[in-house]
Amino acid sequence: MNIKNKESYILISSDENSFSEFYALFLEKVAIYKKQHIVLKISDKINITKEDFLLFLDVAAEKKKEKTSFVIVSDAVNMDDFPENFNIVPTLIEAEDIIEMENMERELGF
């Protein structure tokens, strides 16, 4: 697992070969960054299923409560297969755009 502190968010990227190994490490680390936006970049090396992605729904809900953003970057899934409030995008640039838009929404009281 790689963790980089970017200007407006924390980038967590996977370098593990198995999803279960990565997910366990991710859960340990995500609590440290409770008040910061998180972008999670899933490696193409990991074989990940729709059900695996759905495990991150609780994290997304918790981040929303904390008024922070959580975005997953992966081009391995169809984003339309997931709930609308679950941010999965194919590129890092789109993840940064989501964070920026959600910040504006919070400032406007949405």
* Domains of the chain by residue range: 2-107
Quickly tell me which residue has 């679950």 as its tokens: 86
pTM, 2 dp:
0.92
Structure-token pair, residue 58: 């609780």
Contact 36, 7 (CB under 8 A): no
- Domain covering 2-107, topology: Transcription Regulator spoIIAA (3.30.750)
The whole-number pLDDT of residue 10 equals 97
Mean pLDDT split into 10-residue runs, the chain, 110 residues: 95 89 91 94 87 93 94 88 90 96 91
Please give the Cα distance from 20 to 43 (Å, whole number).
13
For 5-30, b/e burial (b = at least 16 CB within 10 A) is eeeebbbbbbebeebeebbeebeeeb
Task: Give the length of the chain.
Answer: 110
Structure-token pair, residue 10: 């924390």
